[in-house]
Amino acid sequence: MDIADRIYGRLGRGVHQDTQAIADGIAAERERCREVARKVIFEARMGDIDSDLRSIGHILDDRLSEPARGQP
């Protein structure tokens, strides 16, 4: 919520509903990133993907750059 308040503060406007929507969006994106990382780490442990750190980094970059489900 603090991050959302700072973003809206820089824009010079904002209401509680707007800052709450931004905070919810930030929290959802953090959770999506965590879930992607968990899946990639699990796949590496199971041997489903190359466990070389550079490969994992590229896979994470690719998957994190994909739009979240439900977003255009």
37: amino acid identity, one letter:
A
Q: What is the pLDDT of residue 31?
A: 92
Q: What is the pLDDT of residue 12?
A: 61
Q: What is the pLDDT of residue 69?
A: 64
Q: What is the pLDDT of residue 14?
A: 61
pTM of the model: 0.61
In degrees and rounded to multiples of 5, residue 2 shows phi and psi of -60, -40
* For helices 53-65 and 16-46, angle between their N-to-C axes, nearest 10 degrees: 140
Spell out the per-residue pLDDT of the chain, length 72, in tens: 677 777 766 666 666 777 788 788 889 999 999 999 888 888 887 887 777 777 878 888 888 888 776 554
| Nearby residues of 20 by Cβ (< 8 Å), 6 or more positions away | 1, 4
Token look-up 């590229």 returns 58
32: amino acid identity, one letter:
R
